[in-house]
Structure 1
């Protein structure tokens, strides 16, 4: 499991599964070698299916995770029933059904996993720069609260994404990110080029949404810096596979 998954200790302490995949240990051939979960990229669907089955096994999931069509926005989709690939367009998946797993696909964008262990509500968030500028994690917290969660109970795990060392951006993106929440401008630098820290901005948004700083966990790995462990669209373009960030409720409390 160690070579395939990054596992959240914070979530484990609350008996909730939260994992981020790395690129090794799967069945996909080059250039998607080998633990790829992105369909429609050129990888074989049979390899992706085998990767999903292996993920269920190594992560100890009770079923395959729900997924949606991600569109770099801030809309949500409530999931129930057996895990599947939905035709719904969204960047937030949310559920309160025991035994349910939710997943977002990333290859530089930030995966954010959320849970209210006390009320049994989880969410998986796909936060690219456009979603971050649109406050997608703030929207996720709002949707969780609507379902019965309490901000002070929410825990968050921010997975690997492109780091400020590699995430060069243009002025328009910088302006939108800076306006996304108070203090976000401090997460954008201009030396030697404009660059942004997606994890830092999303952390600020979570704190301003009422999540405690002590309940936010960050995996600070940069996907673009480490081709041995991570896929990166910025680095590899169309030859990049996709990771999954997965959060799952147990079937029994």
Structure 2
């Protein structure tokens, strides 16, 4: 077993990625030292006014590198619910750029996306030459975050495979008219992703909308999108469910030594 695939508090991506491509989302328990309400494997909130203790988060992040056998420190982003994408090379260090997606063709460079209900989406070229990771909450998804990520990659869309990690699922995630209108402005066909609940509110299937938008961008091979953070408090943090809570991280990288 590759060091990168060792067992641990991880949900590994179930997708037909080429050899040497690794991706997973962390679980909320099984590692880490954060106290309630961030217990225990919180990897985010370092800069929030009411967030977890920064020193504890740093220890959790160091533990992540160790127990997952990562080839380098992840390249963290300061996520702002936008559509900016950065291309990175080498280990993450120093200031975290304000962006919601990253792309690399450099083996050993680990891309990271923090979530607690938003969609984490990872991409890989079918020849293993490039990967990307995107954070798509409803603001970013409706504004074109996934399309921007695909456009930033050097790999043609029809040669990409994508995996959608754990996020707020269609049975639990309720939104109002403003959110629905933002999506319908892109294409009225996405109305099929909304189920009315009470006046002015709908349950929304963000997974389905992501698949629609990726298909329009030329990415046909999309996997995952079937694990709900809201309905699984034992495994996942959820901002919508708990308000003040921790963050999971979704990672993707190209193995620097695929033959290992």
TM > 0.5: yes
Partners of 1:197 and 1:230 lie apart in 2 by 18
Inter-CA distance 11–251: structure 2 relative to 1 (3 Å threshold): farther
- CA drift of 1:200 comes to 0.9
- Runs of at least 5 residues in structure 2 that lack an aligned partner in the other structure: 1-5
Inter-CA distance 53–76: structure 2 relative to 1 (3 Å threshold): same
Inter-CA distance 231–85: structure 2 relative to 1 (3 Å threshold): farther
1:124 counterpart residue number = 133
8 Å contact from structure 2 (residues 28, 40) kept in 1 = yes
Question: Matches of residues 157-172 of structure 1 in structure 2 within 5 Å?
Answer: 157-172=163-178
Partners of 1:141 and 1:17 lie apart in 2 by 19
Is residue 177 of structure 1 aligned with residue 183 of structure 2? yes
Is residue 241 of structure 1 aligned with residue 246 of structure 2? yes
> Of the candidates 212, 217, 221, which is equivalent to residue 223 of structure 2?
217
8 Å contact from structure 1 (residues 24, 33) kept in 2 = yes
RMSD: 1.9
- Runs of at least 5 residues in structure 1 that lack an aligned partner in the other structure: none
- CA drift of 1:123 comes to 0.9
What is the total number of aligned residue pairs between the two structures? 247
8 Å contact from structure 1 (residues 114, 124) kept in 2 = yes
Partners of 1:150 and 1:14 lie apart in 2 by 19
2:3 counterpart residue number = none
Per the normalisation by structure 2, the TM-score is 0.88
Partners of 2:8 and 2:109 lie apart in 1 by 24
Inter-CA distance 107–168: structure 2 relative to 1 (3 Å threshold): same
Is residue 23 of structure 1 aligned with residue 32 of structure 2? no
8 Å contact from structure 1 (residues 18, 245) kept in 2 = yes
- Deviation string, structure 1 residues 50-84 (Cα, Å, up to 9, x no partner): 22122223333101110111111111111122213
Where 1:20 maps in the other structure, the secondary structure is strand
- CA drift of 1:3 comes to 5.5
Question: Matches of residues 1-253 of structure 1 in structure 2 within 5 Å?
Answer: 4-10=9-15, 13-25=18-30, 26-38=32-44, 39-41=46-48, 42-84=51-93, 86-118=95-127, 120-144=129-153, 148-181=154-187, 183-192=189-198, 193-212=201-220, 215-237=221-243, 239-252=244-257
Q: After TM superposition, where is structure 1 displaced by more than 4 Å over at least 4 residues in a row?
A: none
